[in-house]
Amino acid sequence: MRQKEQSPPPSPSTRLRHRKHTKSQEVFPDVSKLNGGSNLLVDDQNKYRSMWVRTLSSLWMLGGVILILYLGHLYICAMVVIIQILMAAELFHLRRIVHESKRLPGFWLINWYFFFTAMLYVYGRILRQHLVNTVTSDKFFYKLVNSLFKYHMVICYFLYIAGVMWFILTLKKRMYKYQFGQYAWTHMILIVVFTQSSFTVANIFEGIFWFIHPASLIAINDVAAYFFGFFFGRTPLIKLSPKKTWEGFIGGSFATVLFAFMLANILGQFRWMTCPRKDLSTGWLHCDPGPLFKLEYYPFPNNIAQLLPWKGMWISPVQWHALWLGLFASIIAPFGGFFASGLKRAFKIKDFGDSIPGHGGFTDRMDCQMVMAIFAYIYFQSFVLAPGSSVEMILDQIERSLSHEEQQKLYAMLGQIFQDQKYGYL
């Protein structure tokens, strides 16, 4: 892949496209650029070998993901955290390479210090309730964990402030601009990395479905766009990624939406995928999945039913939501890829890293996923979450934290307020 430098750096989609096919798109331009017949066999061998490398690493990634899915929520979160650390390492390293000339000893330590402070803050917030639920059996731990969480915000704030003070005290004359630039770059990296991973983790604990479905849609969109572009691609889509075509884009959209619909049906039938995890255990889950995942039978209208062997379809309400997710994944999520391409061109880098053989770094794989994970979470919170859940949460709190007398007192106070309101309205 790296020998063919004349073409602009391929974006993740094109790389995925290359994964499946014999790269016919690149054979022809290369044949035209060949100086002599003697290079042909060598090139072919390299192309097959690099395709083999890419397919192998893709299979490993796929296998790893499936294994982790089977293991459960906690392991998926661990996977997300590890991917995050690797992404941050790539991006921190990148900035240092781009400005190789100046190196300050110990400066990279500040980067990782801010990273771990941000991790403590973000995961502390998200997993607060889950952690509390895990230790409810033991009174002592419960009190300990509760008091830790009460001061969680202060602790993280003081850790951050200590980092800022450390930064200010290490400012060196004539290096101010470089150091401030590094500081800003660190913050941007942390924001980008942690926003998407925190939303991903929040999704996971709502149900693995809400993590695996959007993530697969992105992968499918890439693959489908490649296929359609390969067979029908003619008009280029955007200057930033010259290999993408409108035909690939539109065909990929249709395929993604269709696939979203069907995948939601399949995934929704597994309790392991649809049940939310309320604590940090790793055992099997039992829950009532709710009306969202219940399959309902829709018989086809008569004229269509005569043509098809099936008389009707089983559809669960979640599939309609999946259509929206598919639409977003095909139309807006690719902009994450464009952003990454533009960024790489702006700073004249080919890939974000080289952790994954044949694919580049982790950031190259995750660029579209980031946009999608945030949307999935926001969509879930706004449109899917049942309205009765906040009542449940408050009832939970009342049952757990108030004594019987206090509950009765609360009940009386509420009753009084309702009476007042009723009379107020009259």
Partner 1 sequence: MDRDNGSGGPSTPSGPTARLRRRKGSTEVAPEVETNGDRLLFNDRNKYKSMLIRTYSTVWMIGGFVSIIYLGHLYIWAMVVVIQIFMAKELFNLLRKAHEDRQLPGFRLLNWHFFFTVMLFVYGRILSQRLVNTVTMDKFLYKLVGRLIKYHMVTCYFLYIAGFMWFILTLKKKMYKYQFSQYAWTHMILIVVFTQSAFTVANIFEGIFWFLLPASLIVINDIAAYIFGFFFGRTPLIKLSPKKTWEGFIGASFATMISAFVLANIMGRFQWLTCPRKDLSTGWLECDPGSLFKPEYYTVPQWFPEWFPWREISILPVQWHALCLGLFASIIAPFGGFFASGFKRAFKIKDFGDSIPGHGGITDRMDCQMVMAVFAYIYHQSFIVPQSLSIEMIMDQILMNLTFEEQRALYTKLGQIIIEKQFGES
Binding footprint of partner 1 on the chain (CB under 8 A): 150-151, 153-154, 157, 161, 164-165, 168, 171, 173, 176-177, 179-180, 184-185, 187-188, 191, 238-240, 332, 335, 338-339, 342-343, 345-347, 371, 374-375, 378-379, 381-383, 387-388, 390-391, 394-395, 397-399, 401-402, 404, 406-411, 413-415, 417-418
**How does DSSP assign 231-295, residue by residue?**
HH--SEEETTEEEEEHHHHHHHHHHHHHHHHHHHHHHTT-HHHHS---SS--S-------GGG--
- Residue 121 or 227: which CB sits closer to partner 1? 121
Least distance in Å: CB of 346 to partner 1? 3
Least gap, CB of 157 to partner 1 (angstroms): 5
Which of residues 283 and 388 has its CB atom nearest to partner 1 in the complex? 388
Strands 241-245, 312-315: parallel, antiparallel or unpaired by DSSP?
unpaired
For 251, counting Cβ atoms within 10 Å of its Cβ (0-12 exposed, 13-18 middle, 19+ buried), the class is buried
Considering beta carbons, is residue 39 or 401 the nearer one to partner 1? 401
Region for residue 150 given its phi and psi (left: phi exceeds 0; alpha: psi -120 to 50; beta: otherwise):
alpha
Q: In terms of CB distance, is 185 or 227 closer to partner 1?
A: 185
Tell me which residue has tokens 């039913």: 305
Cα–Cα distance list, 155 to 130, 147, 160 (Å): 20, 12, 9
Please say whether the beta carbons of 55 and 19 come within 8 A. Answer: yes
Residue 239 CB, shortest distance to partner 1, in Å, is 7
Minimum distance from residue 313 beta carbon to partner 1 (Å): 29
Nearer to partner 1, 3 or 419 (CB): 419
* Least distance (Å) between residue 39 CB and partner 1: 31
CB of 198 within 8 A of CB of 123?
Answer: yes
The closest of 283, 250, 259, 236 to 74, measured between CA atoms, is 283
* Amino acid at the residue 314: W
Q: How far apart are CA 85 and CA 359, in angstroms?
A: 18
> How many CB atoms neighbour CB 414 within 10 A?
10
Q: Which is nearer to partner 1, 79 or 371 (CB)?
A: 371
Min. distance of Cβ 232 from partner 1 in angstroms?
A: 24
- Lookup result for tokens 């807006």: 332
| C-alpha–C-alpha distance, residues 21 and 230, integer Å | 9
356 vs 370 by CB, closer to partner 1: 370
Q: Which is nearer to partner 1, 22 or 401 (CB)?
A: 401
Residue 401: CB minimum distance to partner 1, A: 4
